[in-house]
Amino acid sequence: MIALFTATIPLSAPGLAEKSKNLLFAFQCHAISQAFSTRLRGRRFMPSCKSLNTNDLRTAQPASRRVWLVACAPPWPRMECVADNSHSAFRIPHSAFSMSHPLHAQHERTYRQNRFVYPVLSRRSSGLSLGVNLNPDKVCNFDCIYCQVDRKKPGETRFVEMERLLTELSEMLQWIVSGRIYESGKFQSLPGELRRLNDIAFSGDGEPTTYQNFDAIIHACADEKRKAGAEQVKMVLITNASMFHRPHVARGLEILDANQGEIWAKLDAGTEAYYRMVCRTPIPWQQILENITLAARIRPLVIQSLFMRIDGDPPPASELEAYCNCLQEIVAADGCLKLVQIYTVARRPAEENVSSLEESEVEAIGRLVRRRTGLPTEVYSGLQ
């Protein structure tokens, strides 16, 4: 069922202080049987776009006496509007339009006969992400309690065969760019808006920057991307940031910068004690913070943070406050954070004492981060 919400927001509202520096407005739509109850506070806002593309709808500019149209599916999203003296923007939480699809929960590291390259439907990419597994041996310098990789079982192969990996990448790029991937198999059911290749993601069964020829593989994959005519497709590094200080990794990051690269750095804690409990690694907590800060001084980073229940308990409020302090300290040290992604467990973790937060809890963390840091923040709830 798809609902079309239409609303005209009045030019002014009682009690609205036009000169206030920070005003928070809320727009909520609820479905009650066949009727809609709409609660509006604030002044008029109109999307600058005409389409119903979810990325375009996330920001809207104020307009005079206009009508706002939004198409969405249940559950009906909550939307927040923030304004100040110099800028007004309508911000719709990304999770409001991250519609669940069964393939969002299927992130197998293999596809057909491939060993290293695999396509997945990614919520955070809003389309297909072409994964490159640089750790088929499952070796990782972290042992996160929420990780879905079962390290008790050995990997299928111990070594990355460079030639085979590049062949798989070339074939998969052609398969996706041509559209043939949607003609049969599990991706045949994808709706049109998700039939897009958003990125090539270096992730897999371990920390990708531990690969000894990391800079060489990034360079070779960038070449394959160009050969496929996919120059504008992003190259995303999903990383725990533990190896940024190594020279060959720093070179690899520079190659990413030159090839529509984006770095998603993990930060799942605000204190060393919580970091030790979640990530279970001998790597110093301070090294992670320093590596993220130094990298963020060179290029904008995306911070991705997973929060969960451990033995039934959500993260303590003090831990979340400390986490916000870490983000603020990175920015205060001239680091550029373009986005913070807050999410929870979406696939079965290897540890049984780990479980997802409720959607309301994830959204509350997102609101805390926005309020405390002012950074752009997206939230993703767990999948049922």
Domain boundary among 92, 114, 140: 92
Q: Is 104 strand, coil or helix? A: helix
Secondary-structure breakdown of the chain: helix, strand, coil percentages, each rounded to the nearest 5: 30, 25, 45
pLDDT band at 84 (very low <50, low <70, confident <90, very high): very low
Structural domain harbouring 60: 3-92
Q: How confident is the model at residue 74 (pLDDT cuts 50, 70, 90)?
A: very low
Question: Does residue 111 fall inside a structural domain?
Answer: yes
Which of 132-136, 210-214, 362-366 holds the top average pLDDT? 362-366
pLDDT at 9 (0 to 100) = 35
Is residue 198 domain-shared with residue 279, that is, in the same domain? yes
Among 69-78, 129-138, 244-253, the range with the most confident prediction by mean pLDDT is: 244-253
Quote the radius of gyration of the chain (alpha carbons, Å): 22
Quote the pLDDT of residue 125. Answer: 67
Residue 100 pLDDT class (50, 70, 90 cuts)? low
Per the DSSP assignment, residues forming a β-bridge with 120 are 129
Domain stops at, among 92, 127, 155: 92
Same domain, 80 and 113: no
Q: Which residue has the higher pLDDT, 48 or 352?
A: 352
Domain count, the chain: 2
The verdict on residue 230 lying in a domain is yes
Q: Do 200 and 133 share a structural domain?
A: yes
Average model confidence (pLDDT) across the chain: 76
The answer as to whether 320 is a domain residue is yes
What is the CA 324 to chain-centroid distance, rounded?
Answer: 18
User: Are residue 166 and residue 27 in the same domain, yes or no?
Assistant: no
CA distance 80 to 369: 14
Residues 212 and 353 in one domain: yes
**For the whole model, what pTM was predicted?**
0.72
Whether residue 97 is contained in a domain is answered as no
Same structural domain for residues 69 and 135?
A: no
In a domain, 250, yes or no: yes
Confidence category of residue 57, pLDDT binned at 50, 70, 90: very low
Angle at CA of residue 298, ends 292 and 302, nearest 5°: 50
Q: Are residues 113 and 70 in the same domain?
A: no
- Residue at 324 is within a domain: yes
Judge if 53 and 118 occupy the same domain.
Answer: no
What pLDDT sits at residue 39?
28
Are 83 and 110 part of one and the same domain?
no
- Residue 15 scores a pLDDT above 60: no
Copy the structure tokens of residue 295: 């990298």
For residue 358, the model assigns a pLDDT of 95
Q: Looking at the domain assignment, is residue 246 inside a domain?
A: yes
> Are 63 and 107 contained in the same domain?
no
Domain contains 286:
yes
Structure tokens that stand for 67 in this block: 């009508």
Q: What is the CATH number of the domain that holds 141?
A: 3.20.20.70
Handedness of CA 31, 32, 33, 35 (dihedral sign): negative
Same domain for 170 and 42: no
Final residue of a domain: which of 71, 92, 113? 92
Q: What is the pLDDT of residue 138?
A: 87
The pLDDT of residue 141 is 94
Rounded mean pLDDT, 296-317 = 98
Same structural domain, 310 and 281: yes
